[in-house]
Amino acid sequence: MMAVELYAAHRGASTISAGTLWMSETTSDLKGFVDVAAIGELSPDEGRIVEADGTWLALFLADGTPHAIANACPHMAGPLGSGRCLDGIVTCPIHEWRFDVRTGQAPTNSYTRVATYETRVVDGRVFVRMADPGEGAANL
């Protein structure tokens, strides 16, 4: 077992994958996280638009793991959560700009990206980290 897996097992987590911590513990360790959806509501080929603390996010299931990114496409604010997702790449429904939902990076332009947000799954619910003021939860 790797050190990360040992730490995860110690903390009560069952799996760690790409920024998402799957936990069997209670929501008491979720300070700064917002409950946004049930994991069973997500499918690998389409997104879901959710609101967390006044911020619109696009929620996706890629490689069996939930990922949250900013919902607005940087081109013309198209709703990324309404786009199709194939192999972890979402296509904006407005002008077909594409982004990797795991990293926020555009696969064809290293200067273009959308914010990503840490996710956790607890008791079948997806939680997204929305930082306390000044903490900066979004990763750009």
* Tens-place pLDDT, residues 45-94: 999 999 999 999 999 999 999 999 999 999 999 999 999 999 999 999 99
Residue with tokens 């077909």: 96
Confidence grade of residue 130 (pLDDT, cut at 50, 70, 90): very high
Residue 22 lies in a domain: yes
Which CATH number belongs to the domain containing residue 26 in this structure? Answer: 2.102.10.10
Look up the domain containing 103 and give its range. Answer: 3-129
- Whether the pLDDT of residue 96 is over 50: the answer is yes
Query: Is residue 114 within 8 Å of residue 74, measured between CB atoms?
Result: yes
Residue 100 lies in a domain: yes
Tokens, residue 12: 């009560």
The pLDDT of residue 118: 96
Confidence grade of residue 12 (pLDDT, cut at 50, 70, 90): very low
Q: Model pTM greater than 0.75?
A: yes
7: three-class secondary structure by DSSP:
helix
Give the number of domains in the chain.
1
Provide the residue type at 27 as one letter.
Answer: T
Residue 16 lies in a domain: yes
The conformational region for residue 34 under phi > 0 = left, psi -120 to 50 = alpha, else beta, is: beta
Query: Is residue 81 within 8 Å of residue 58, measured between CB atoms?
Result: yes
Q: How far, in Å, CA of 20 to CA of 67, rounded?
A: 8
Confidence grade of residue 140 (pLDDT, cut at 50, 70, 90): low
**Burial degree of 140 (CB within 10 A; 0-12, 13-18, 19+):** exposed
Q: Which residues of 72-104 are buried (b: 16+ CB within 10 A; e: fewer)?
A: bbbeeebbbbbbebeebbbbbbeeebbbbbbbb
- Whether the pLDDT of residue 30 is over 60: the answer is yes
Residue 135 lies in a domain: no
Q: How far, in Å, CA of 130 to CA of 100, rounded?
A: 20
Confidence grade of residue 102 (pLDDT, cut at 50, 70, 90): very high
